Amino acid sequence: MANIRSFKGIRPVRSKVHLVATRPYYSYKKNVLKAKLEDNPFTFLHIINPEFGAQIKTKPNSTERFLQVKQKFQQFLNEGILLTDEQSHLYIYRQSRDGMIVSGFFAGVSVDDYLNGAIKIHEQTLTAREDVFTNYLDTVGFNAEPVLLTYEGQAPIQQMLDTYLASRPEYEFTTTDRITHEVWVLSAPDSAQICAAFQNVPALYIADGHHRSASSARYTQQLRANKPKYPEAADYFLGFLVDEKEVQIAAFHRLLKSTNGLDLKGLMAILSNEGSIEKLAGPQLPEKKHDIHIYMEKTWLKFRPNLNFINDQDPIETLDSFILSDLILKPIFGIVDLKTSDQVEFVPGIEPLQKIIDTIDANKFQVAFLLHPASINDVKKVADAGLNMPPKSTWVEPKLRSGLTIYSLEA
């Protein structure tokens, strides 16, 4: 059973929504971030970077810096760049690009569901990052970047979605990355109907945003321990709920800086003892699960491990990211911990294949391993078993905009 709530969204005025909403600040290169801050006074990036251009700055990730974020946020409200809805709503968001169309609901998602396991996770979080995010929430009092969650589709939910998607949206704009963004504001009765329909959803699965959800849970637990009364909104965090069939999953490929002197012939000889290895006519991505493609010395290979090496009963050991580490990276190249190794670069599967080829040919890295993407069922099996996927196993789309619909923890 999934418990969600409607909320009084804080969002850009219609005339400025295309200027306010932004990719997360950490996704921009420094020179691009600087240019956006210089050229656009309305971007949400100014809230996240409140001291841009200041001569004296506070320490990053400090309470003093977060207080500056809160003050800048209040300034956007005072100047009418952002508005607060008078009633509580759910919000439908649709993202469209190159044939990929994803639609779902912005909603408050229950912290208690996260704590009791009704919200399933598949990734470990770092305590240090949780500490930073929890302090951030405690200081600024809002969620601006939603956690992406998936659910098993339900007919009543889809019918409501279809009804609104056929109508004119509140927002519609296209960004320079050729993504079209649309937002609909559900009526109060329709919002209540959808909240009730989610009671029939057996579980929610976090697709992206494990640290944000973990930090939200810690923030709520701290409130419960320290304050006898606090706003009901703080029992929830901002989520974007999407039918699992619409989520797009790409692989993360691995590039190695060094082969420790092992050449192509030697690698092929070793791998021939672990499965089948053959040369490919040219560059191509793996078409089947458990196929691993390799690019080295301007040669393309396809490696398929012997199936008796794979434990089909263990949802982790069936993942190609695990197989690559277990059969190749650890025993052959000594890469024991992907989290700490400085020898591995991760490349999202959405990147052009030519970029990987150019990187290897320029000798920036010596060998590339390309993986087949995990499926949503793979992710669910890991989460249902209470396990954690290996680092960088999935690149999940959609990537969401910050500042499009903001959730107040203090309302």
Q: pLDDT by residue (tens digit) across 256-288? A: 999 999 999 999 999 999 999 999 999 999 999
The answer, yes or no, to whether residue 411 has pLDDT greater than 90, is: no
pLDDT tens-digit series, residues 30-83 = 999 999 999 999 999 999 999 998 888 999 999 999 999 999 999 999 999 999
The answer, yes or no, to whether residue 26 has pLDDT greater than 90, is: no
Residue ranges of the chain that CATH labels 3.30.1760: 252-372
Ramachandran sector of residue 249 (left: φ over 0; alpha: ψ -120 to 50; beta: rest): beta
Confidence of residue 312 (pLDDT cuts 50, 70, 90): confident
CATH architecture of the domain covering 252-372: 2-Layer Sandwich (3.30)
CA 285/CA 372 separation, integer angstroms: 7
CA 12/CA 40 separation, integer angstroms: 14
In order, the DSSP letters of 27-50 are: GS-HHHHHHHHHH-TT-THHHHST
The answer, yes or no, to whether residue 321 has pLDDT greater than 90, is: yes
Residues 99-111 have a mean pLDDT of: 96
| Cβ proximity of 81 and 16 under 8 Å | yes
Q: Which helix (H) or strand (E) holds 279?
A: strand 275-279
Q: What is the pLDDT of residue 309?
A: 78
Residues 300-314 have a mean pLDDT of: 91
Q: Which helix (H) or strand (E) holds 321?
A: helix 320-324
- Calculate the alpha carbon distances from 88 to 111, 207, 292 in Å: 19, 26, 49
pLDDT tens-digit series, residues 244-259 = 999 999 999 999 999 9
The answer, yes or no, to whether residue 156 has pLDDT greater than 90, is: yes
Kindly report the backbone phi and psi dihedral angles of residue 102, in degrees, each rounded to the nearest multiple of 5, phi listed first: -130, 130
Q: What is the pLDDT of residue 316?
A: 96
Three-point CA angle 236, 237, 242, nearest 5°: 110
- Calculate the alpha carbon distances from 273 to 309, 312, 333 in Å: 12, 21, 16
Three-point CA angle 76, 77, 78, nearest 5°: 95
| Cβ proximity of 213 and 207 under 8 Å | no
| Helix-then-strand count for the chain, H and E | 14, 21
Compute the residue count for the chain.
Answer: 411
